[in-house]
Amino acid sequence: MIKTVFTLALAAVALPSQALVVTQWNFNSVPADNSLTTGSQLTSVGSGTLSLIGGVTGGFGSGAANGGSSDPATSDDTGLQTTGYKAQGTGNETAGVLFKVSTVGFQGISFSYDLRHSNTSARHERVQYTLNGTTFSDIALFAGAAGDTWFNNRSVDLSSIAGASNNANFGIRVVSSFAPGTSAYAASNSSNTYAGTGTWRFDYVTVSAVSAVPEPESYALMLTGLLAVGAIARRRRG
């Protein structure tokens, strides 16, 4: 009996073993139109907002070209094409794309995305997060050391940052960064010269969670079960 009650108490707060998709952008057309150059900036899963920052402008481009992104919808695979980055030696880590997603109800947050670098785009991309919607902190730096190439499944684990979970003001951005230790952007293709007109093409941008935050009712049920276990044990000893 004790074992049964204890098992039920634990089941009340059992957590899923696979990551949960909180919000995702695949940039494909809604409804699907079998075009690789038309798309949508609206979320494909969940809710959130996307902003182009630092003077960056956006359109759409193929998510299947040059090896392709990880989006399985190959016949309608569109990416978010961005350009208009900063001039050489200016605006370090201020231009890119900002994704704001409420993580209320979720814990163990992670962020992933695919990115295609053009030959003259900035090689280095800084990932930063915000817990209050305005102040950003560094979390990762990636290098796309090839042009006209997709770098898929860039992944950033924020599970150790307590404030990233259950936060209505959570956001994350990917911005162009100077080459480490310098005051200049490096071109993705070392045979080319950096230019602000170079492009970054995003796809399959995803905010995930390890699990949902248990509802207060679940905690109450677990406590009730544990109290019942204690009561039964006391009666057996009496």
pLDDT in tens, 95-154: 999 999 999 999 999 999 999 999 999 999 999 999 999 999 999 999 999 999 999 999
pLDDT at 170: 98
Structure confidence by residue, pLDDT tens digits, 68-94:
999 999 889 999 999 999 999 999 999
Share of the chain above pLDDT 70, in %: 82
pLDDT at 237: 56
d(Cα 121, Cα 146) in Å, to the nearest integer?
10
Domain ranges within the chain, ordered by starting residue: 20-213
Distances (CA, A) of 35 to 3, 61, 149, 200: 57, 10, 20, 19
Judge whether residue 17 has pLDDT over 60.
Answer: no
d(Cα 210, Cα 6) in Å, to the nearest integer?
24
Evaluate whether the domain defined by 20-213 bears CATH number 2.60.120.260. yes
pLDDT at 74: 86
pLDDT at 215: 57
**Sequence-ordered alpha helix ranges (H) in 72-178:** none
Structure confidence by residue, pLDDT tens digits, 191-218:
999 999 999 999 999 999 999 987 554 4
User: Is the distance from CB of 203 to CB of 99 less than 8 angstroms?
Assistant: no
Check residue 118 and report its DSSP letter: P
pLDDT at 235: 53
pLDDT at 216: 53
pLDDT at 229: 43
Per-residue pLDDT band for 9 (boundaries 50, 70, 90) equals very low
For the record, the structure tokens of 78 come out as 């569109």
Q: How does DSSP assign 168-226, residue by residue?
A: TT-EEEEEEEPPTTSSSPPBSSTTS---TT--EEEEEEEEEEEEEPPPHHHHHHHHHHH
User: Is the distance from CB of 198 to CB of 122 less than 8 angstroms?
Assistant: yes
Judge whether residue 222 has pLDDT over 70.
Answer: no
Structure confidence by residue, pLDDT tens digits, 23-71:
999 999 999 999 999 999 999 999 999 999 999 999 999 999 999 999 9
